[in-house]
Amino acid sequence: MTRSFQKILVIQTAFIGDVILATGVLEKLHQHYPQAQLDFLVRKGNEALVKNHPFLNQTLVWDKKAGKYKNLMKMLKAIRSERYDLVVNIQRFANSGFLTAFSKAKVKVGFDKNPFSWAFHKKVPHEINNGKHEIERNHDLIAEFTDAAAAKPKLYPSSQDFDQARKWKTDQFICFAPASVWFTKQFPKEKWIEFLSSTNFEGLIYALGAPSDAALCDEIIEKSGNRKAENLCGKLSLLESAALMQDAQMNYVNDSAPMHLASAMNAPTAAIFCSTIPDFGFGPLADHSKVIQIEEKLYCRPCGLHGKKSCPEGHFKCGFEIRTNSLTRAVD
């Protein structure tokens, strides 16, 4: 279908990884509508991911914590005032659906699972575990207006971000990001310690994460005895971390946001899957990437689409029985 969109809004108010994967939609829309005003709506805290993005007109920020519904109505007013030609809602929950449904956009597109999908002009199925990657599911929303191929996610660290990252690029290096919001998505700290103590990699090793991850990384590094490992948790912004990861010999990550950072920078990736599986559609996308997971089949794996706060079976075999040498082989 041939359309002429002059003003486009993309909505993704979920978490960091979801926003990163949504940038593939921005890439494709800009490719087909380079003169269009392209705006992006995210939740407060995620706007830094697209700071200074080269072809975004503006980033709208919804504060979900302070006066959630009052700010939702303010956001709706702002959206309606723009009179968008196209609103693409990648989120599947009610708040983003409400904004889309009452946006006054000429064309409103979203997933059929959204409670407000009855008001969308185009509803697209969102099906997990059918072989599609999430970027392909997202692309289905705009395929009618673009082409058949999904675009990979992409982030744009600034020159200042690269300058900050360059301070740590004094030798060959690898990065590892051991933390996750969910316990069963985390490769066990004991296994990280084993990896750091057994690797033959002779360059520098950097731990990446938020300030809240610093204690975990301190413990891993201390107990491993690896003198070339350094804890950078909280010392780099998300885009600075992405700039660093781009030049790593390898980035060891869980099924979590750092994996998607690596994908967006096309950085070498070793993605460790414990309780979740790549078949859900959230695997690594870098040209040089591999998935590391338990080789044996477990009756309890996967135990859910997302991680859990503890192993439902109490043994966490999907994490502890991953062979550490499979990490070592990825870079040695």
What residue ranges define each of the domains in the chain, with the CATH number in brackets? Answer: 7-145 (3.40.50.2000), 159-328 (3.40.50.2000)
pLDDT of residue 2: 52
pLDDT of residue 218: 98
**pLDDT under 70: residue ranges of the chain:** 1-2, 332
Q: pLDDT tens, 138-190?
A: 999 999 999 999 999 999 999 999 999 999 999 999 999 999 999 999 999 99
Q: pLDDT tens, 20-53?
A: 999 999 999 999 999 999 999 999 999 999 998 9
pLDDT of residue 129: 78
pLDDT of residue 48: 96
Name the pTM for this structure.
0.95
pLDDT of residue 72: 95
pLDDT of residue 1: 47
pLDDT of residue 329: 81
pLDDT of residue 131: 84
- The three state secondary structure string of the chain is CCCCCCEEEEECCCCHHHHHHHHHHHHHHHHHCCCCEEEEEEECCCHHHHCCCCCCCEEEEECCCCCHHHHHHHHHHHHHHHCCCEEEECCCCHHHHHHHHCCCCCEEEEECCCCCHHHCCEEECCCCCCCCCHHHHHHCCCHHHCCCCCCCCCCCCCHHHHHHHHCCCCCCEEEEECCCCCHHHCCCHHHHHHHHHHCCCCCEEEECCCHHHHHHHHHHHHHHCCCCEEECCCCCCHHHHHHHHCCCCCEEEECCHHHHHHHHCCCCEEEECCCCCHHHCCCCCCCCEEEECCCCCCCCCCCCCCCCCCCCCCCCHHHHCCCCHHHHCCCC
